[in-house]
Amino acid sequence: MKLTLHTFLSIDGVMQGPGGFEEDRSGGFDRGGWLIPYGDEVMGEIVEGWFAKADAILLGRTTYTMMQAYWSQIDDGSNTATGLNNLPKYVATSTPLEPAWNNSTALTGDVIKQVEELKAQAGGELQIHGSAALARSLHQAGLIDEYRLLTFPVAVGTGKRLFTEDAPATGFKLVESRVTSTGATYSALTPTPFQTGTAVMEDGSSSFSVDS
């Protein structure tokens, strides 16, 4: 299966608690709900398009618990609700899944190895949604095949980030993009080798370095 990551980001890279103040208060985070003023119809179309492609869902325990509380009560026929409530869900966790959400399986022990095994199975997309710690680990392991990022025009300042200082240097190729009516930008990216070098002007002189 193709492993794809889907997340909301602030313009300064924060992915924690986008949808509500109480969504994820871990680490004393008190700036949740920062995307709410920027939601629109285009954002909804993008997210619905994500779940239309899903064959299975991969979540960290915090995100699983938050999504279960809300989406297990929703039956509106949307791709999002249908996918989350019915597709296989794999959850990186060290504690039992009680009460278990429909079709949920705990991944314990060597989660990276288990995700590699899931990727080796036949199928379409195994989708990660949010799940900051898990997403960072899979990024560091080089297992993510496509990054689907919705970036909102707000700087949160503090909170969990996908790309941290210890993350591997990675290049990306843009494969899809959209802009919402509120100024959020959607980028679908596939990883490429990281490159450094010096730009050379037509006369042969160096114009700037991108190594620093």
Side-chain half-sphere exposure of 2, counting CA atoms within 13 A: 12
All domains of the chain, ordered by start, with CATH? Answer: 2-209 (3.40.430.10)
Structure tokens given for 100:
């278990």
- Looking at the whole model, is its pTM more than 0.85? yes
Reduce the secondary structure of the chain to three states and give it as a string. CEEEEEEEEECCCECCCCCCCCCCCHHHCCCCCCCHHHCCHHHHHHHHHHHHCEEEEEEEHHHHHHHHHHHCCCCCCCHHHHHHHHCCEEEECCCCCCCCCCCEEEECCCHHHHHHHHHCCCCCEEEEECCHHHHHHHHHCCCCCEEEEEEECCCCCCCCECCCCCCCCCEEEEEEEEECCCCCEEEEEEEECCCCCEEECCCCCEEEECCC
Mean pLDDT by 10 residues, the chain (212 residues): 97 93 90 95 97 97 92 95 97 88 94 96 95 95 97 96 92 97 98 76 48 40
